[in-house]
């Protein structure tokens, strides 16, 4: 959020500096967004894996008792 605000705040720099700053901030924002997305996805994958393993063990246990 702060990066987006800074992108529009810098009005006094030369055109080259503005472009350079804009590209640098967009690259940083892209990395930050990717890190947030991967950080949110990992617990979901772990949860799905844990549920799958629980169901597999439950089925195996049921088959052994029959």
Establish if 7 belongs to a structural domain: no
Establish if 56 belongs to a structural domain: yes
- Overall number of domains in the chain: 1
Establish if 32 belongs to a structural domain: yes
pLDDT of residue 37: 77
If you average pLDDT over residues 47-52, what whole number do you get? 82
Establish if 1 belongs to a structural domain: no
Q: What are phi and psi for residue 56, nearest 5 degrees?
A: -65, -45
pLDDT of residue 47: 81
Between 12 and 27, the more confident residue is 27
How would residue 24 be classed by pLDDT, with cut points 50, 70 and 90?
Answer: confident
Per-residue pLDDT at 63 exceeds 60: yes
Domain that holds residue 47: 13-65
Which of 2, 45, 7 has the alpha carbon at shortest distance from 26? 7
Average model confidence (pLDDT) across the chain: 75
Establish if 8 belongs to a structural domain: no
Q: Would the pTM of this model clear 0.85, i.e. be above it? A: no
Q: Report helix angle 15-65 to 2-9, nearest 10.
A: 170
């Amino acid at each position: 959020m702060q990066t987006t605000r800074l992108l529009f705040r810098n009005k006094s720099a030369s055109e080259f500096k503005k472009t350079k700053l804009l590209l640098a901030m967009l690259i940083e924002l892209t990395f930050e967004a990717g890190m947030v997305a991967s950080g949110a996805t990992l617990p979901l994958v772990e949860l799905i894996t844990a549920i799958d393993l629980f169901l597999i063990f439950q089925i195996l246990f049921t088959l052994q008792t029959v």
